[in-house]
Amino acid sequence: MNLPKTEKIVGYEIDLINKLSVLTSITIELLNTGWNGIFAGLKNGAYNAVASEVTVTEERRLLSLPTPY
């Protein structure tokens, strides 16, 4: 989700990703992209990971999804 006035990407997943970035010293680039393109981007290497509310489907089982929380 984006805050309308700042266009800052916010949410639980974003907080988690930012904390992991600090703990691991990995630089994270957050991109706000359309839902329809995130899994194609994972498959073709455009993205290393996605941070969103993702449900497991048969097609998505081919991706490395974590256990739902």
Domain of 47, in residue numbers: 12-62
Q: 4 in a domain, yes or no?
A: no
Q: Is the pTM of this model over 0.85?
A: no
Contact 21, 27 (CB under 8 A): yes
pLDDT in tens, 17-50: 899 999 999 999 988 887 788 878 888 999 888 7
Q: Tell me, yes or no, whether 1 lies in a domain.
A: no
Total structural domains within the chain: 1
Q: Which structure tokens are listed for 3? A: 């805050």
For 49-69, how does the pLDDT look when each residue is reduced to its tens digit (9 = 90+)?
877 766 667 666 666 666 655
| Within a domain: 69 | no
Q: Is residue 30 part of a domain?
A: yes
